[in-house]
Structure 1
């Protein structure tokens, strides 16, 4: 596929001019967010937008109907968003797309990938050249339960055991099996390699020469469905959010610790 323009994936500093106003997207690698932070973001939505926070299929958050002045969100709105703590790396805000099995480290799975996700985000944000990755570039980390193994991605991994993962390179190619302790560094290196050769491509799958591939490890899990709504384990629940839209009533009474899922729902714990 030949791209004739850059991607227009929205962010706080690159809003999408929708019919109802500016749309901005906030990336939360791994999906972990507190109820207090969501309440602060709802304050912004109520003051400047449509009064709601919208969940996405990449486990990110969106604000809609914000003011748009000369193609930008006004500074006072940017500062209100920044004050929520959800804009920690402004230069890399478009590329912090790290999707992780929502229950990892909480219940089930072969490995706890929360540390890998945090290290990966830190490494990406510490690499200036990666700020220019396409906003649609996606890293997908499956903790071995299979809930994200069939998600299309640019780079990723699947846990084979508590200590080993197999890397993903594009949606259909497998990379080497590596220790989990090396995973974040290896994925960051692969992202840098893509950035050096991508030309106008937005995705690894669009490269003219397919990446080198290795056989899929026999320990890989089959794809699995999301957990049913309701209690998953003691103190952990999967909460349905109708339409993937959060308002003040939707978060009232929720526990403080939450995980945004790619199914437009929440894990509470």
Structure 2
């Protein structure tokens, strides 16, 4: 089964980490209702055109012909035969997408997709991505990280710094950086030339501290009490004091600074500085669409953690072909920042065909707003970080709630409607403030979600 979601409410019990995490990879396939699933790590979302085409070929030859991008800029292939692992590995290895069989699941690196293309950041993050990826794969200890452990390399604009990574590096002027661990409200300056050293030292220190204290955890945020001890001196990087995970800056050790603002705007679709940006509905496209995307690229694609792609150097004249292929190219669409889990029929845990229901609502909705995520069960797989509209299938309908995803605190703004949107008996919408007993239209469901998106800043 897919990995258990993390506890997010302060004080809630930490999930049992006594077992190895079941996060899928390119070699460890996950058995889903629609066949086996492979998750191919794409550090920094960086793909060459050759690699992108190889993924499309693998989807056609081994899977259902579709490709999914994830909230970490990785790629999933679905509908695979259970015995295709060796052929898939050979295909990925041939194009450089499987540099290490022992470390392939820990190559979870997100990076600012517009880095180096505009003037909003301090650095082109590709060099840091490649150095970190190479050194992770070369470090025997790194294989002990969970397949969920996330590194974020932010060019200073604050976009991927808001993704709740375990280790976040925020670029500064002159090659300097700030290092943030977990959800710490402070960061430690890192001198020029030591950025990747600091990231690796923090990750190794996390594993060492768990071992020393006999603890089990997949994420830094699960062990906030260990952070002061964990990061005191940062093993392997002498002279950098640790980061506290506490809001009281007066108690912070010398040398740390307040965390700069995070949550900077991620790429809007359309023409962007230095290229093009497109979105994918729920991150899923067919292999022919994927090949159209590769054909529009100028040698490189950058997959984003927001289920889109940036094409550096691609001219505006290629947008019409991308739009015709089904990619989102117009800004301000209700589909912007709208996501959904797999739902029925691909996931046995789901109680609704959430993607079909969500698509019907989004197609008649106007405007964008807060991120919105449809979930087929309480696990809420793939939900956004930060503040978002939670549309949860309950078995009797959907509950619509504005949620602070980092703390689990509900804002109290809920929208309650009962709706039958498809022929599936559980595909209808409910919540807990006002129950409408009659069937409602797609427009009414859309309004319930749109109201939650626009009334909460």
Question: How high is the TM-score relative to the length of structure 2?
Answer: 0.55
Moved more, 211-220 or 124-133: 211-220
Q: 1:100 aligns with which of 105, 111, 115?
A: 111
Shift of 1:179: 1.9
Query: Are residues 1:124 and 2:136 paired?
Result: yes
How far apart are the structure 2 equivalents of 1:127 and 1:268? 32
How far apart are the structure 1 equivalents of 2:224 and 2:159? 29
How far apart are the structure 1 equivalents of 2:304 and 2:191? 26
Aligned-pair Cα RMSD in Å: 1.9
Provide the residue aligned with 2:419 in structure 1. none
Shift of 1:237: 1.1
Q: 2:36 aligns with which of 9, 12, 22?
A: 22
Query: Are residues 1:143 and 2:173 paired?
Result: no
How far apart are the structure 2 equivalents of 1:153 and 1:90? 23
Shift of 1:227: 2.2
Provide the residue aligned with 1:209 in structure 2. 225
How far apart are the structure 2 equivalents of 1:123 and 1:4? 27
Are 2:42 and 2:74, in contact at CA under 8 Å, matched by a contact in 1? yes
How far apart are the structure 1 equivalents of 2:59 and 2:101? 20
Q: Kindly provide the CA deviation profile for residues 46-97 of structure 1, in whole angstroms up to 9, marking residues without a partner as x.
A: 011011221000011111111114xxx4422322232232111111101011
Moved more, 17-26 or 111-120: 111-120
How far apart are the structure 2 equivalents of 1:86 and 1:243? 23
Question: Taking structure 1 as reference, are residues 51 and 209 closer, same or farther at Cα in structure 2, changes over 3 Å only?
Answer: same
Query: Are residues 1:194 and 2:224 paired?
Result: no
Shift of 1:219: 8.1
Counterparts of residues 51-130 of structure 1 (less than 5 Å): 51-69=65-83, 73-108=84-119, 109-130=121-142
Are 1:142 and 1:158, in contact at CA under 8 Å, matched by a contact in 2? yes
Q: Which runs of 5+ in 1 are unaligned?
A: none
Query: Are residues 1:232 and 2:248 paired?
Result: no
How far apart are the structure 2 equivalents of 1:163 and 1:83? 34
How far apart are the structure 2 equivalents of 1:7 and 1:180? 35
Question: How high is the TM-score relative to the length of structure 1?
Answer: 0.91
Q: Kindly provide the CA deviation profile for residues 149-203 of structure 1, in whole angstroms up to 9, marking residues without a partner as x.
A: 2211111111232422110111235342012410101111111111122332000
Are 1:35 and 1:251, in contact at CA under 8 Å, matched by a contact in 2? no
How far apart are the structure 1 equivalents of 2:115 and 2:306? 15
Are 2:186 and 2:258, in contact at CA under 8 Å, matched by a contact in 1? no
Provide the residue aligned with 2:296 in structure 1. 254
Q: Which has the larger radius of gyration?
A: 2
Are 1:160 and 1:220, in contact at CA under 8 Å, matched by a contact in 2? no
Question: Taking structure 1 as reference, are residues 15 and 177 closer, same or farther at Cα in structure 2, changes over 3 Å only?
Answer: same
How far apart are the structure 2 equivalents of 1:146 and 1:175? 13
Are 1:44 and 1:77, in contact at CA under 8 Å, matched by a contact in 2? yes
Shift of 1:217: 3.6
Moved more, 50-59 or 247-256: 247-256
Secondary structure of 1:94's counterpart equals: helix
Provide the residue aligned with 2:189 in structure 1. 177
How far apart are the structure 1 equivalents of 2:63 and 2:192? 41
Query: Are residues 1:9 and 2:48 paired?
Result: no
Q: Which runs of 5+ in 2 are unaligned?
A: 1-13, 229-242, 250-255, 313-457
